[in-house]
Structure 1
Amino acid sequence: MDDAIRPNRTAFDRVLCESFKLWASYLNASNTTPLLPFDCIDLKRLLRRTPSFLGCSLLSEDAHIPLKFVEKGSREGHYGLLSSCRSIWRTHCSKCPLEPITMPSHLILGVQSSLAVQISDSAPLAEWPGIQGISGHDEGNYLAVLFLAWAYILSARWAELLRSASSCKIKYATGNGPSFMVPSHQCAAEIDLGYHAEKDEAGWWAAILSSGGGRHITAEYNQRTYLSPWSVTTSDTSHIAVMGNPSVAGIELPSSSTALKYLARFSSHHRLYGQCSAALVAVLYVPFLSGRSVSLPMPKQVLRSQSPARFAQPDIDIVGEHGRLLPYYMTLSSNVWGMRSLLCSTFFNADIECNLVTAWLNPAFTILDPLLQANNMPMLAKVLASRQPKFGSLWLGAIIMGIAKSTLQDMRIGLTALDLNVAAWTGTDQSFITLKPGVSDGITIRREDECRLLFITGCDGFTKAPIYPWKPFGATLLCDTEPHVQQHACCGCHYLEYHSWNWSLENGEELEDLSVGLVPDDENDLNTHVREQYPIARHDIKLSSDSLSEAATRGIFSWLRSTGYPANEKPIYQHSWIDIESSDDEDVDDVESSTTEGTGSREFIDEWLSNVDQSLPILSGRSTP
């Protein structure tokens, strides 16, 4: 170490070179074809132990067990309907048992404002790039059409599940209202179904394309009216007409299963496969953006090819497969902070210590920044999918919804997101705090293991997991640690192990969801293989600031020593990166937010950090920053 905190030049250069070679290899691999990898539409890889929405997989269809809901208001007067839940975590040691840890949580169940959808020629992926391994499919661009269909299907399924799990009164609007009636000459585009459809089916397509999916399905709870979290509405200039102008008067809005059949017919006729999956994952971000607006590509309909379709894998009923997994996608989607945390986890590396974050992340953005500046979204999707294949679909959805750039900008300045529940649901490493520990030598303990034991044993002041993913460097003298740490330091077997998700019931009991056997529990699929060696010159890497390492180091060390530090660590805590003694009167969160560089706004960082305490910015009609 050159000083108490900064890494030495050798360590810094090693991480810098390794990171650049790794990210350059992703770019090199992505240049081999203009097509997106199949990972970008493989949604089910997201699911490992994700619970079903409102615990629906645990009960028979006719069961009625009311769940406990809470309402949360905002200063703007909006309300959100939330579920009351908690996750249970074991500490994985039979010889030296510790009490399980519970983490209270809420999932968003109802909103009071829908997402506004606009149709634009300049929206992301206006030209569909195609998917590797698939030919004869996805000609033209139907993303907006499919998006509106999926938004309705999720909203309809929401209403069906909410009815059986609560005392909410569900209402479906009829098709007689003037909001349905939009003359075709006033619409942004016109779609030909391409096949004969009965009145109800054709009317449903006309209704959702002219007004938005799910906007006419509501739930009443405690004398307030709520919309589905996946409720969307099209703007006056963005309605899509159906050729033939089918009547919507008197139609009954279909169930989710009937709407799935309509969507399957449409997708089969137009040979939509990749776009169908991409539209669904885009809809999963609707709760994240509730109350705001999104631009989707102008529909481009082409005559389908008569040549037979060919797949790199056996042809499957893609709509039916997604329909079966819909309740699990809905749970994932209703955790808005968790959705963002999955994108951020693409950049997490469990081997990187907090003072080397700059060396690890700067090369990544040296590769990504030119793609962002050139607005090369297909290449961006391919590079990010190369890094973590199972999140390829999430990045494609984020690109379609226009939030990929802002997420990457936040990551560039060190504003990450962490959600241990979603990490467990998807089998993802997001933080050092959940990894397996080492064994103390009886004299010292690694600081990362000290952090784990402080949280697992529930020491005073450490009842909340750190929101900082990067592990602290170095070791602490065992005699300087808390008694609980000294007691368990040599066990080497205490670590957080996700056990279950529990839905709270109105009668005070809980509905336990183990969520096992949903999909194969593969190993974390971060791609760390470097395909080719790349020379690196120092001027190729931006090294103008240590702000990323500084913020990460200040964050985790402030958490670790929130109750004071041992005398032999005084050089660390007097270091300019931390300097706790100059901030004795400030709250730890204030220290972190006020000293992070490069954000340009103290208020912006305060708002960001507030999300870790289960704040839901969706309730005020805006997204997370």
Structure 2
Amino acid sequence: MGADQIIDRQTLHNLSSTEPKPCSDSEYTEHGSFEGDTQSEQDEEEWLSGDGVCPTTAEFDTCCQTSRDAWNHAALRSTLCFNDTYIDTFLDILRDVPSFYHEPPENIHITGGHKSPLVLRSSFQLETTQDDACDQRWKFIDYFQCIGFPLSMVSRLKVVASDSTCLPNSRRTGYLTSITLAWSYIISCRWVEILQSAGETCMLFHQNDTEYTVGFWETINQNRWSAQIKRDKGTWFSPWMLQQHNPDLHQNWGWVRTSPDSALAFDILLEFCTSEQLEQEFLVGLATVLLLTSRNTPSPRMEPPITISRPATKSAQSHTKFRQLFKRIDKCMSLSATQDALESLLCSAFFNPGIPCNLVGAESFGIKQALLADGTEYDTFLKGIATRAPYLIFFWRAAVQNDQVLPLLNLALRRLPPICLVAAFWTNTIQSFLQVKYFSQSIKPDFITRAEEFSISFYCRNETPVPWTPSPPFGVTNLENLSLEIKAHHEHSHWPRSWSNKWVLRSGENVTINSKDQIPPQLFPHPYHNYPNSIESLEKPSYPRQVAEEQSWNATSRLFNWHRHYDDGLWLDDGTCDIQFIRHLQQHPWIVDPFDDDDDDECDPSGEGEHPRSRNKRVSEWNAQVVQY
């Protein structure tokens, strides 16, 4: 598949609508619960736990309880007061992120159309072995960054009434709207400065020729500005523009081209926020703007901006931490512009690489019990995030305050999140089992963990995409059952060692952007899974567990069918079970290929298109076949 095809399939927004956000209020219940958390009794079908793929009741309950206890403890250790640690940890994850569009060479690979984003294709090159005998030392991963949006995709601010239950303090939330609009302007100014320095035809327009320090807040609150790039007879706008109306330069509004000054605009905003004790809103506003590029969240819902009569002046104080943040704003833009990077990063707050794919639902169930038991109140949830992932607290707070939290929580705890492995290495955060080296004292010499098998499959084949679930597979594999290609690479010790980012030229050449010489190894104990001792020991799970297991089903099906497709087959024999049982195991509904012609039920690898009743029925039918055999 060519790069242009990939871009077309994976554009940053849904291009079929002028409102490009794919999520809508209709996807969620009236009370803000997770999508699909309610199910009528008539949809229940009996299926059995501990059948060789589905975990036993003891495994499920232990995983759920451990998860619940860990997150309960995390929530008790934190407050929601502003803390410098949150800034420090966020600055830390930005250290290795490349700057946005910094000094690109000529003829880089950029595509875009009249109704589609302007997209830059780059290459992430990951060194996975230093064995001279290996012919697959590097893994190449293409990644895409949005450079500009067409007019139809510019984010629209959804203004809500001041009595919204999501926004408890009307005046502070009104200030938050103004602060967010100011951040939109600051980052868009920086966008113009960066693209101009790279030789692009990029411009900032104001309505009327107004000085920064004279009409700053009026320009911000009334959207009297626009940032655009002209390229190949097309026009695109800053991906970080947040407007209440179309920035149509063809209307007779007295548009005047203006020299951008992002540093001055930042100083004005910083002085206002620190003087009014709005430091937290300052950071939440930044997070809100960085999330505008997400294709998985709706536009932010905010109160009308408050009129600010305060003179626009530069800050006289140093405010070192905040100024360090501005120095890394180009890195923030790069992370925000990278497809699925922020969603993958936000969802990684809940990722536990020690939990196998068939227990993901149990892990998520425990998290929901610990953090979300109070319905639409998110204080406990945010306290847990502040402890476990402090570098993400302002993003999750922004999602809560702007009515964007449910789509993200559904990705993380109900479905499966998108995975941006490139951003994971940039930010030094664990977002996939592919970044982890698993160890175990109990694995026999002639076996390897299935997690290692799947990792080798990914790293030794350049054409293989990132697996469709972040969690590792359960179980082990006999060395004799490895495919020839994986067997050939088994002794090469494939795991992440170093990386580099490359510009991709239209000629096919690659030019280095930045690199990291050494990746610290991430070690975790192997996620063990027991096969049943006998069919008679199987039992029916509780109804709440059946609902939770939907995520485990999706994760297991995606992962094992990813391996089946790219490794030309799948064989689950771990040396502990009868061969006939293994053959039946191959047809388990969580494992079977949904595109197999012999299978009556057609669905996508994620299983999202199949009704829960059909899924449970398939599990019951499979178990009946095993018992009969």
How many angstroms apart in 2 are the aligned matches of 1:558 and 1:588?
15
Does the C-alpha gap of structure 1 residues 103 and 600 become closer, same or farther in structure 2, counting only changes over 3 Å? farther
Paired residue for 1:100, among 121, 133, 138? 138
Secondary structure of the 2:591 match is: coil
**C-alpha contact 1:115 1:286 (8 A) present in aligned 2:** yes
In the alignment, does 2:271 pair up with 1:265?
Answer: yes
Q: Which runs of 4+ in 1 moved over 6 A?
A: 247-251, 300-304, 520-526, 585-589, 598-602
| Equivalence for 2:233 | 223
Corresponding residue of 1:577: 590
Q: How far does the alpha carbon of each residue in 1:46-84 deviate from its partner, in whole angstroms, 9 at most, with x for none?
A: 314211001x2xx5xxxx7335242244xxx61210112
Displacement of 1:234 after TM fit? 2.3
Q: How far off its partner does 1:13 sit?
A: 2.6
TM-superposed CA distance for 1:411, in Å, is 2.9
Partner of 1:280: 286
- Kindly provide the CA deviation profile for residues 332-378 of structure 1, in whole angstroms up to 9, marking residues without a partner as x: 0102411111121112111111121222111111233334x2x3234
Q: Aligned to 2:76, which of 23, 28, 32?
A: 28
SS in 2 for 1:580: coil
1:81 aligns with 2:125: no
| C-alpha displacement of 1:521 | 9.4
**2:176 matched to 1:143?**
yes
Cα distance in 1, alignment partners of residues 612 and 400 from structure 2: 23
Distance (whole Å) between structure 2 residues aligned to residue 453 and residue 353 of structure 1: 17
Q: Shift of residue 111 of structure 1?
A: 0.3
User: In structure 2, how many angstroms separate the alpha carbons of the residues matched to 1:49 and 1:294?
Assistant: 29
Q: Which of 312, 321, 324 pairs up with 1:321?
A: 324
User: What CA distance in whole angstroms lies between the structure 1 residues aligned with 2:542 and 2:613?
Assistant: 25
| CA distance 1:330–1:581, change in 2 (3 Å) | closer
What one-letter code is carried by the residue in structure 1 that aligns with 2:57? Answer: R
Residues 478-557 of structure 1: pairs in structure 2 closer than 5 A: 478-491=479-492, 493-505=493-505, 509-514=509-514, 542-545=544-547, 546-557=549-560
Q: Per-residue deviation at 1:499?
A: 0.6
Taking the aligned partners of 1:399 and 1:389, their CA distance within structure 2 comes to 16
Aligned 1:63-78 pairs, distance under 5 A: 65-66=105-106, 68-73=108-113, 78=115
Displacement of 1:223: 0.5
Q: How far is 1:454 from its partner?
A: 1.2
Structure 2 counterpart of 1:53, from 85, 100, 105: 100
Report the alpha carbon displacement of residue 250 of structure 1 after superposing the two structures with TM. Answer: 7.1
2:91 is equivalent to residue 44 of structure 1: yes
Taking the aligned partners of 1:587 and 1:433, their CA distance within structure 2 comes to: 33
Instruction: Identify the residue that residue 476 of structure 2 maps to in structure 1.
Output: 475
Residue of structure 2 equivalent to 1:202: 214
1:18 to partner: Cα distance: 0.9
Compute the displacement of 1:574 (Å). Answer: 1.3
Q: Name the amino acid aligned to 1:8.
A: T
Instruction: Specify the alignment match of 1:564 in structure 2.
Output: 569
- Structure 1 residues 521 and 384, CA gap change in structure 2 (3 angstroms): farther
* Separation in structure 2 between the aligned mates of residue 435 and residue 570 of structure 1, nearest angstrom: 30
Aligned 8 A contact 1:41 1:392 in 2: no
Determine the C-alpha separation between the residues in 2 that align with 1:119 and 1:362.
34
Change (3 A) 1:199 1:68: closer
Q: What's the CA shift for 1:88?
A: 0.5
> What pairs with 1:284-433 in structure 2 (closer than 5 Å)?
284-288=290-294, 293-298=299-304, 316-371=319-374, 373=375, 375-433=376-434
Amino acid at match of 1:144: T
Matches of 1:87 and 1:369 in 2, distance apart?
Answer: 37
Structure 1 residues 140 and 16: CA distance shift in structure 2, 3 A:
closer
Equivalent in 138, 156, 167 of residue 116 of structure 1: 156
Distance 1:95 1:551, change over 3 A: same
Contact kept in structure 2, 1:229 and 1:287, CA below 8 Å: yes
What whole-Å deviation, never above 9, does each CA across 1:513-541 have from its counterpart, x for those lacking one?
Answer: 33559xx9999999xxxxxxxxxxxx999
The CA distance in 2 between the partners of 1:122 and 1:336, in whole Å, is 35
CA contact (8 A) 1:260 1:319 kept: no
Q: Matched residues in 1 for 2:85 and 2:67: separation?
A: 22
The amino acid across from 1:218 in the alignment is: Q
Letter in 2 for 1:173: F
Q: Following TM superposition, by how much is the alpha carbon of 1:227 offset from its aligned partner in structure 2, in angstroms? A: 0.2
User: Contact 2:557 / 2:607 at 8 angstroms: preserved in 1?
Assistant: no
How far residue 547 of structure 1 moved from its aligned partner, in angstroms, is 1.6
Q: Is the CA contact (8 Å cut-off) linking 2:436 and 2:522 kept in structure 1?
A: no
In the TM superposition, residue 451 of structure 1 has moved relative to its aligned partner by 0.5
Aligned residue for 1:345, secondary structure, equals helix
**Alpha-carbon contact 1:344-1:416 (below 8 Å) kept:** yes
Q: Are the structure 2 counterparts of residues 45 and 282 from structure 1 closer, same or farther at C-alpha, using a change threshold of 3 Å? A: farther
Could you say which residue in structure 2 is the equivalent of 1:194? none
Q: Does 1:170 align with 2:202?
A: yes
User: Which amino acid in structure 2 is aligned with residue 278 of structure 1?
Assistant: V
Q: Secondary structure at the match of 2:354?
A: coil
Distance 1:205 1:250, change over 3 A: farther
Residues 95 and 407 from structure 1, CA distance in 2 versus in 1: closer, same or farther, beyond 3 angstroms? same
AA of the residue aligned to 2:204: Y
Decide whether aligned partners of structure 1 residues 301 and 511 sit closer, same or farther in structure 2, where only a CA change above 3 A counts.
Answer: same
Aligned pair 1:90/2:138, yes or no?
no
Q: Is the 8 A contact 2:348 2:431 kept in 1?
A: yes
**Once the two structures are aligned, what percentage of the paired residues are identical?**
24
Native 8 Å contact 2:177 2:304 kept in 1: yes
- The separation in 1 between residues aligned to 2:344 and 2:118, in whole angstroms, is 22
Contact 1:550 1:577 in 2 (8 A): yes
RMSD across aligned positions (CA): 4.0
The answer as to whether partners of 2:122 and 2:501 remain within 8 angstroms in 1 is yes
| 2:66–2:366 CA contact under 8 A, matched in 1 | no
8 A Cα contact 2:72 2:371, kept in partner = no
Q: Between 409-418 and 501-510, report the one with greater CA deviation.
A: 501-510
> Contact conserved, 2:144 with 2:339, CA < 8 A, in 1?
no
**Separation in 2, partners of 1:541, 1:22:** 24
Aligned length: 521
Partners of 2:336 and 2:601 lie apart in 1 by 31
User: Is 2:191 the counterpart of 1:158?
Assistant: yes
SS of residue in 1 equivalent to 2:281: helix
Normalised to the residue count of structure 1, the TM-score between the two structures is 0.73
Q: Say which SS state the counterpart of residue 291 (structure 2) adopts.
A: coil
Displacement after TM superposition at 1:156 (Å): 1.2
How far apart are 1:403 and its partner, in Å?
Answer: 1.8
* Partner Cα distance (1:588, 1:438) in 2: 38
| Cα 1:217/1:595, change in 2 over 3 Å | closer
Secondary structure at 2:300's aligned position in 1? Answer: strand
Q: Which blocks of at least 5 consecutive residues in structure 1 are unaligned?
A: 130-137, 178-197, 237-246, 305-313, 527-538, 603-625
| 1:125 and 1:377 in contact (8 A); partners too | no
Q: Distance in 1 between matches of 2:378 and 2:257?
A: 40
Deviation digits for residues 408-429 of structure 1 (CA, Å, limit 9, x no counterpart): 1233332322110011111111
Question: What are the Cα deviations for residues 118-138 of structure 1, in whole angstroms up to 9, with x where unaligned?
Answer: 444246863469xxxxxxxx9
Give the TM-score normalised by the residue count of structure 2: 0.73
Separation in structure 1 between the aligned mates of residue 431 and residue 219 of structure 2, nearest angstrom: 42
